[in-house]
Amino acid sequence: MTSRWTNEAAIRQWNTSATRESMEAMAENGDFAKRNLVNPALLRLLGDVHGRRVLDAGCGNGYFSRILAGRGAQVVGVEPTDNMCAFARERETELGQGVTYVQADLTRMPDLGEPFDAVVCSMVLMAIPDWKPAMRACVAALRPGGLLVFALVHPAFEELWGSWREHGEYRVRRYLEEYEVVGLAASDFHRPISAYFNELASLGCRLREVAEPGLDPAVAAEMEPTTPGIDGYVHLPNFLIVSAEAPA
Ligand SMILES: C[S@@+](CC[C@H](N)C(=O)[O-])C[C@H]1O[C@@H](n2cnc3c(N)ncnc32)[C@H](O)[C@@H]1O
């Protein structure tokens, strides 16, 4: 059940979980899954960002904004939590990459000026209880034909690691329902894949590519002794990464 959740309550939970230690640990390239699975797919689907105006929607500690700025993009990061937004701004003061951080809820997007060539929204839509206005705001921020790239924990394999470790396969019981997925940092909200693709279609977007990256078997073999169950990431995709064009 997701009905007891408001977007404000979800943001408060993210703010509480964003400790200095956790933000420092993931400040460069994100966590293991981001480094090995999500970042390469996002960057490939975004293509050459040099000189492009890019919005990092729900940017968290800002690590991906910094990666994009390092590749020559003009980046605006939007993040609603006090802690992560302050951390991202602090890093910007140190690095001077020219990234602008705006503290805002995507479902109440402020005016961000000129339209964007691309919007990246990584691991955010499934963190928002009432998420459709957020996807709508991402598409509205684009220039005609601009590119939306979003990453989700794959709705068909959300609890992959735990399930694989316990059963040696993936088990799912309630795919078609909407429900809260309690996470280590904060809750996500399960909804079927069709919810995301149908919303994209209703916004007039044209699907360009869907990526379901698998883990390199050599990386999994190295980690298996200390991280039992990681082998599941080789066989099933824990992340769904989508690129689509805004209406022309
Ligand atoms: C899993 S984190 C991902 C952060 C970042 N994109 C990354 O990949 O590291 C989820 C992010 O969604 C943000 N978030 C939650 N609700 C939001 C909302 N309504 N508008 C914008 N961001 C939101 C959280 O504050 C958090 O930074």
How many distinct structural domains can be found in the chain? 1
Distance 28 CA to ligand 1 centre (A): 17
Q: Report d(CA 245, CA 150) in Å as an integer.
A: 12
The model's pTM is 0.97
Distance 224 CA to ligand 1 centre (A): 29
pLDDT at 2: 59
List per-block mean pLDDT (blocks of 10 residues) for the chain, which spans 248 residues.
84 95 93 96 98 98 98 98 98 98 98 98 98 98 98 97 95 95 94 98 98 97 93 97 98
Tokens of 10: 């979800």
Phi and psi angles of residue 216, each rounded to the nearest 5 degrees, phi first: -60, 125
Note the pLDDT of residue 70: 98
pLDDT for the residue 1: 46
- Ligand 1: residue whose CA is nearest its atom 23: 58
> How does 44-81 read in b/e, with b if 16+ C-beta sit within 10 Å?
ebbeebeebbbbbbbbbbbbbbbbbbeeebbbbbbbbb
Give residue 59 CA to ligand 1 midpoint distance, Å: 6
Say if 1 falls within a structural domain: no
Pocket flag, ligand 1, residue 10 (CB < 6 Å): yes
Please write down the HEC assignment for all residues of 182-224: CCCCCCEEECCHHHHHHHHHHCCCEEEEEECCCCCHHHHHHHC
Pocket perturbation via mutation, ligand 1, pick of 14, 23, 31, 68 by most ligand atoms within 8 A of CB: 14
> Residue 171 burial by CB count (10 A; 0-12/13-18/19+): exposed, middle or buried?
exposed
Could you tell me if residue 201 is inside a domain? yes
User: Which residues, including other chains, have CB under 8 Å from residue 123's CB and lie 6 or more apart?
Assistant: 38, 58, 151, 152, 153
- Is 41 part of any domain? yes
Tell whether 2 is covered by a domain.
Answer: no
Task: Specify if 56 maps to a domain.
Answer: yes
| CATH of residue 162 | 3.40.50.150
Range of the structural domain that residue 193 is part of: 7-245
Ligand 1 and 122: CB distance under 6 A: yes
Residue 185 covered by a domain: yes
Q: How far is the CA of 9 from the centre of ligand 1 (A)?
A: 13
Cβ atoms of residues 55 and 83 within 8 Å:
no
